[in-house]
Amino acid sequence: MKYDVNLELENRVEEYSFGAVAKQANGAAWVKSGNTVILATVVIDETEIVKDDFLPLTVQYIEKSYASGKIPGGFFKRETKPSDFETLTSRIVDRSLRPLFPKGFGHPTQITIMVFSADKESDLQILALNAASAALYISDIDINTSVCAVRAAKIEGALVLNPTLSQLKNSTLDLYLSGTKNDLLMIEMRSLGGEHVEISDAFIDPMLDPSMATAFIPSHVSNAIPEEELIEILQKTQEALFTCNTKYEETFTPYKKETSKIEYKAHSINEEMVNYVREIHMPDIKAAMNQMAKSERSTALRQLRKKILLVEEHWDELELKDAIEKVKKEQVRGQILNERVRADGRSLTEIRPISISTNVLPSAHASCLFTRGQTQALVILTMGGAKDGQMFENLTDDGTQNENFMVHYNFPGFSVGEASPIMGTKRRELGHGNLAKRALEPIVELSGQTIRLVSEILESNGSSSMATVCGGYMALKAADIETSDTIAGIAMGMVSEGDKYAILSDIMGLEDHDGDLDFKVTGSKDGITAMQMDIKLGGISLEVLKEALYQAKEGRAHIIDIMLEAEEKIEFNDGVLPSTDFFHIDPSFIGDIIGQAGKTIREIIEKFEVAIDIDKKDGKVKVTGKNKTGVSGARKHIESIVSTPKAAKIKYEIGQVYEGVVKKIVEFGAFIELPDGTDGLLHVSKMKVDKASDAFKEGDKLTVEILEFKGNKISLGIA
């Protein structure tokens, strides 16, 4: 392959070839970085134009197993439905490129990104967006601005831009930004748990179920990023975006195709109707705005249209709908900018009323019904063992991995008053669940557990994803799970006209629809654990972003105070809630707890209905059961064994004679307990009977002689 462009960028090299493959697409870019090769194509349907005020753009990021020398696992040996990573990457590219399209562009457009070769260090999400942006930039669509992505990591306190995947594993920050030379368009951020210190030698007794033994996972902290530090990092990453996009536009311009003559949507507002609505029906518009639920507001506006059409029968209903929408949007934005009052009467920083009810589902392990204004999330928590995790394998992984902390978000139509059937998981649902997972995962220590949070959105009027974060945290506490911090989420918005702007805390659906910014921030009172930002007006300055971050911090603190108050009132579902306990014992007692051939530990497991994991080296014990009573009983039983004084160990030698007690009779002989508690085997061949049970019964005393040692086992004879 001959490459037209070779670019040395921050921490990587990208090579581009234009026009060599996929020549029938409107634009195509073949990109190589390291051993990773990606093809991005752009195709538009010029025969069709969508008249609605919507850009019919579809982005598909597709990974091929052969790219890393693998054959798809499972029954079907070809790629089927997209993985979560593919879906989330498609969503990132879509959100970054959608703002570039000219106003009125209504042709169905397909962007396809295919990974043909992948190495273990390349950031596929960065390369996917860069390749797609290059294909779009050199296409015959009237787009003259490039977009690129930068990922920032924090490794041992130092900022690293565009880290390799190995470097990212040791980072406490994962910040993904996309933007043009001058503007940020999208931000995805999460704090990470930091470096993990592995603990080896987890004890697995071969007599027990191996799935019950797990290594102990070390504790970690949330590593929430303070706002001041995040602003500094954003400044440096924006410099990298400027440099990268400048190089792209300079080097890609010679390869741009001639712009084709594309029909744009002729979308004009009937000013006669607009003026009529303003002058005659402004009270009706304000009344509709006061209907905060989306369904109620839509009904009020629809009734207004019918009312006007009874008088103005010759008017077109679609034109009237656009006119009413324009007046409504003007009123929403003007009231915020000029009066500093929102449609529901709140101030710019005011949070809607919050109510929290925990463990409302008696048969679930834990649950929380979180309500904020007209947004309501029912979050349910289920606990499982290590093997209950979701198995997955990324293209750059050496093998399969388990996801042991899951957040699943569901958004049924009835939550916004829509009569729509519940189908498969949509991209938006997957993205919102992923945001909540990134927000909460840094504060949870799994310790061999699997935790699944499911958020069922029962009502939505703005930021159900942030309600999921708050409800998810409360569900964790309702399950008596230890967390390193208290986490809440808040959605921020903005309205701007010229030099005037207003930042809104806890936006509702109306403000999201008619505003210029959708900015979700999660974290503690001290810092941010996750963030997602989509900008609708083409970009945002760092000064405005800084103001929004600090306003979000105040809002989070208010919500956290309410959550902490509710946390004190939690009543656990003790009858169904699994319990886990950790404690230490003297490692020298592990043999006593296990018992001969695992007899003692099996008895404890069966009696108290628990699972027991023991670290042979450090004496760490983990007891997990269906309820606290069983776990507490098992711990007390183990501690009673440990607290029993042990006889001093005797140094046995061949030929010595001791008095022992028959501890257990088996088919091939009898186990004899010697004076210090050590067991020896008296084989049936050393007796004058065919069966040991013919000569002894358990508890009998007899004199035995040490015959030989076989490893750690002692062979006995009758003295």
**Which of 264, 247, 256 has its CA nearest to residue 27?**
256
Domain end position, chosen among 592, 612, 643: 643
205 confidence band (pLDDT: 50, 70, 90): very low
Give the angle subtended at the CA of 81 by the CAs of 80 and 82, to the nearest 5°.
120
The reply to whether 360 and 393 lie within a common domain is: yes
**Which of 137, 153, 136, 146 has its CA nearest to residue 179?**
146
SS3 589: helix
Q: Is the pLDDT of residue 274 over 70?
A: yes
pLDDT tens digits along 692-715: 888 888 888 888 899 888 766 788
Provide the token pair at 592.
């006593």
200 confidence band (pLDDT: 50, 70, 90): very low
pLDDT at 443: 92
Mean pLDDT of 563-577: 91
Within-domain flag for 198: no
Mean pLDDT of 641-666: 78
Within-domain flag for 203: no
The reply to whether 146 and 62 lie within a common domain is: yes
The reply to whether 313 and 383 lie within a common domain is: no
207 confidence band (pLDDT: 50, 70, 90): very low
90 confidence band (pLDDT: 50, 70, 90): very high
Residues contacting residue 605 through CB under 8 Å, at least 6 positions apart:
208, 611, 612, 634
- Helices assigned H by DSSP within 441-526: 464-478, 509-514
Complete DSSP assignment for 122-135: --HHHHHHHHHHHH
Residue 62 burial class via C-beta count within 10 angstroms: exposed 0-12, middle 13-18, buried 19 and up: middle
Residue whose entry in the numeric block shows the structure tokens 């990591």: 153
The dihedral formed by the CA atoms of 119, 123, 126 and 130, expressed in degrees to the nearest 10 = -20
Q: Are 190 and 442 in contact (CB under 8 A)?
A: yes
The least confident of 153-167, 221-235, 455-469 is 221-235
The reply to whether 474 and 536 lie within a common domain is: yes
The reply to whether 306 and 416 lie within a common domain is: no
536 confidence band (pLDDT: 50, 70, 90): low
The reply to whether 364 and 499 lie within a common domain is: yes
pLDDT tens digits along 549-560: 999 999 999 999
DSSP single-letter state for residue 214: -
pLDDT at 378: 98
Q: Is the pLDDT of residue 643 over 80?
A: no
The reply to whether 661 and 713 lie within a common domain is: yes
Within-domain flag for 330: yes
The reply to whether 246 and 279 lie within a common domain is: no
Q: The domain containing residue 596 runs over which residues?
A: 579-643
The reply to whether 532 and 404 lie within a common domain is: yes
Mean pLDDT of 317-321: 85
The reply to whether 665 and 618 lie within a common domain is: no
pLDDT tens digits along 604-642: 999 988 888 888 877 888 888 887 888 889 999 898 888
Mean pLDDT of 407-429: 90
Q: Is the pLDDT of residue 367 over 90?
A: yes
The reply to whether 421 and 476 lie within a common domain is: yes
Residue whose entry in the numeric block shows the structure tokens 């020298």: 588
Within-domain flag for 204: no
The number of domains in the chain is 5
Q: Is the pLDDT of residue 217 over 50?
A: no
The DSSP element (H or E) to which 39 belongs, if any, is strand 36-44
Q: Please indicate whether residue 447 or residue 281 has the higher confidence score (pLDDT).
A: 281
Mean pLDDT of 267-283: 86
| CATH classification of the domain holding 632 | 3.30.1370.10
Q: Is the pLDDT of residue 112 over 60?
A: yes
Domain end position, chosen among 608, 643, 678: 643
Provide the token pair at 604.
């404890």
pLDDT at 208: 31
In the structure, how many helices (H) and strands (E) does the chain have? 16, 30
* 168/160 Cα distance (integer angstroms): 9
The reply to whether 430 and 480 lie within a common domain is: yes
| CATH classification of the domain holding 300 | 1.10.10
Within-domain flag for 377: yes
Q: How many residues does the chain have?
A: 719
Q: Please indicate whether residue 49 or residue 232 has the higher confidence score (pLDDT).
A: 232
Within-domain flag for 650: no
Within-domain flag for 260: no
| CATH classification of the domain holding 20 | 3.30.230.70
pLDDT tens digits along 56-83: 999 999 999 999 988 887 778 888 889 9
Q: Is the pLDDT of residue 267 over 90?
A: no
| CATH classification of the domain holding 667 | 2.40.50.140
Within-domain flag for 199: no
Mean pLDDT of 185-189: 91
Q: Is the pLDDT of residue 496 over 70?
A: yes
649 confidence band (pLDDT: 50, 70, 90): low
Mean pLDDT of all residues belonging to the chain:
86
